[in-house]
Amino acid sequence: MSTFPITDKTEITRLPKRGVYDKDVVYAILDEALVCTVAFAVDNQPFQIPTGFCRIGDKLYIHGSVGSHYMRELQTTKSPVCISATLIDGMVLARSAFHHSVNYRSVIIFSEPVVVTDQDELYKALEVFTGKMCPGRWADVRKPTAGEWKATLLLSFEIKEASAKVRTGPPKDDEEDYDLNVWAGVQPLKLQRLPVVPDPDLKAGIELPSYLSE
């Protein structure tokens, strides 16, 4: 299995057994997470952009308006970024308050922004992004016009310095606490897609597409 090199920045020093450097694991988390946060610093002052994103191969993509302050800031400074994406899988309910925890899968990436100027790469990234947000959607909608493409700024980040941190399973209590009369276990959490709500201005006679009704 292909792995990321462990660097000073990506080494998991706290609870190192939760650290995962396998590319497959990192990429699966990125492909499931709908938002990431992109952090960058200006004169040591940190900023964050919460944003949708997608991954293709070894690159992570975010897009925004060419008028976006933060996108332009990243485009101009090309400063180093730290990107994180986190999935919360459950609350870990131990017998002691101290051993309560969270089951989660998170990824941290250190990279730099690159402005994508290649039209094929721009088109592909937006298609993959749309398909991630709503599988099946891209084929169904009006595609961007030349003017809309021009208004879209796409940034890519090479994923070369990255790590995941994962906790799974039941609580781990101190030996003597297993005899306490306290319920223990996990409460799973899941981001679920609920039944769709039609646009009040939906044109009459348009049926719900199969990719949304299944």
Integer Cα distance of 63 and 125 in angstroms = 9
Among residues 59 and 186, whose Cβ is nearest to a second copy? 186
Among residues 27 and 49, whose Cβ is nearest to a second copy? 49
Among residues 2 and 100, whose Cβ is nearest to a second copy? 100
Residues 121-150: x/- map of binding to a second copy (CB under 8 A)? -----x---x--xx--xx-xxxxxx--x--
Residues 11-40: x/- map of binding to a second copy (CB under 8 A)? --xx-------------------xx-x-xx
**How far is residue 129 from each of residues 43, 118, 200, measured CA to CA in Å?**
32, 16, 26
Phi-psi map region of 91: left, alpha, beta (phi>0 left; psi -120 to 50 alpha): beta
DSSP state of 143: P
User: The tokens of 70 are what?
Assistant: 């933060």
Q: How near is the Cβ of 74 to a second copy at its closest, in Å?
A: 11
CB 111 within 8 A of CB 39: no
Interacting residues with a second copy between 162 and 191 (CB under 8 A): 170-171, 177-191
- Rg of the chain (C-alpha set): 21
Among residues 108 and 159, whose Cβ is nearest to a second copy? 108
If we measure between CA atoms, which residue out of 203, 65, 211 comes closest to residue 133? Answer: 211
Q: Tell me which of 70, 75, 112, 121 binds a second copy, using CB under 8 A.
A: 70
Q: How near is the Cβ of 191 to a second copy at its closest, in Å?
A: 5
Integer Cα distance of 194 and 211 in angstroms = 13
Integer Cα distance of 71 and 67 in angstroms = 8
Among residues 1 and 14, whose Cβ is nearest to a second copy? 14
Q: Tell me which of 54, 64, 154, 159 binds a second copy, using CB under 8 A.
A: 64
Q: How near is the Cβ of 4 to a second copy at its closest, in Å?
A: 17
The site for a second copy, by CB under 8 A, has a size of 94
The answer to whether 111 contacts a second copy (rule: CB under 8 A) is no
The answer to whether 114 contacts a second copy (rule: CB under 8 A) is no
Q: Tell me which of 28, 84, 112, 114 binds a second copy, using CB under 8 A.
A: 84
Q: Tell me which of 67, 117, 120, 214 binds a second copy, using CB under 8 A.
A: 67
Go through the chain and tell me how many residues it has: 214
**How far is residue 211 from each of residues 68, 129, 140, 144, measured CA to CA in Å?**
32, 16, 10, 21
